[in-house]
Amino acid sequence: MDWLERPLAAFDLETTGTDPEEDRIVTASVALVGADMEPEANDWLVDPGIEIPEGATRIHKITTEMAREEGRAAPEAVAEITALLAGYLNEDYPIVAFNARYDLTMLDREARRHGVEPLVELVGGPMGLIVLDPLILDKQVDPYRPGKRKLTDLCQHYGVELDQAHASNADALAAARLAWRLGSENAELGDADLPTLHESQIEWARAQAEGLQKFFDEKGLDEKVETEWPLVMSVA
C-alpha cells in the first residue's frame, strides 16, 4: 500500500536542552494521523527530574515547577511512549519526526537511563525502525534552496499549517503534514515503498551530514556533525 494512504505515527519531543546524552524529556506527543481517520493523539507532560533551564522554558513554556507538580514520572512516561511507538511500527505504521535523529536518540537514552527497554530493541533492531523525516526529505528534493530549514521555515515554504511552534503536539502534526506534502509532490518519495525510502534516507542523511561537515572544516569551525540516522546507536 502506498505510504501516503496509510496511517502515520507523528512524534515529537520538547526537552531540557539539545544534548540527548545529558538532557531530558519535558513533553512528548505521538499522534496517529492520515488515511482519512480521526487523529489518535497522545500527549505527555514529564517531570524530567532535573531543573528546566530558562532558555528551554522560553521555547516550550514549561517551567520546572509545572513539570514537578503536573508531570508524569519519567520512567512511566518513557515506557508508555516507547511502547506506543513500537506498537505502531509493528503494525507497519511509520514514525514521522522532524529531525528524527534528535528525538529518537533522546528517547533511546531516556529509556536506557530509566531501565526501559529501548524502542530499537522492542522492534527487533535497527531494521525495525521505519521513519520518515521531513528535514532529510526536503534537503534531498530541494538541496540548493537558500534559507533556513527549521520546522517553521519548511511549514511556511510548503504551506503547511503549524498552529503553535514548539508545542510537541503541534510540531508532531506539522511534521506529518510536511511528510505527506513532500510525498504527494515528489514521485521519488511518494512512489517508494517504505523500507526502500527508509534506507534511502539513511544514505541521504549521511551525505547531507558529510557535506555540512566539509563546510565546517573548510571554514575552520570546530563542529562535529553526526552522520547516523535515524538513531545514533553509540551510547556515550
What residue type is assigned to position 97 of the chain?
A: A
pLDDT reported for residue 92: 95
| Region 158-170 average pLDDT | 91
State the pLDDT confidence band at 35, using cuts at 50, 70 and 90.
confident
What distance separates the 2 farthest-apart alpha carbons in the chain? 50
Q: What is the pLDDT of residues 71-98, one digit of tens each?
A: 999 999 999 999 999 999 999 999 999 9
Mean pLDDT of the chain: 96
Concatenate the DSSP letters of all residues of 69-112 into one string. HHPEEHHHHHHHHHHHHHHHHHTTPPEE-TTHHHHHHHHHHHHH
Backbone angles phi, psi at 91, to 5 degrees: -95, 10
- To the question of domain 3-218 being in CATH 3.30.420.10, the answer is yes
Residue 61, Ramachandran bin (φ over 0: left; ψ between -120 and 50: alpha; else beta): left
Q: Is the pLDDT of residue 234 over 90?
A: no
C-alpha 27/C-alpha 167 separation (Å) is 8
Query: What is the structure's pLDDT at 1?
Result: 53
Q: Is the peptide bond before 230 cis (omega within 30 degrees of 0)?
A: yes
Specify the pLDDT at position 235. Answer: 60
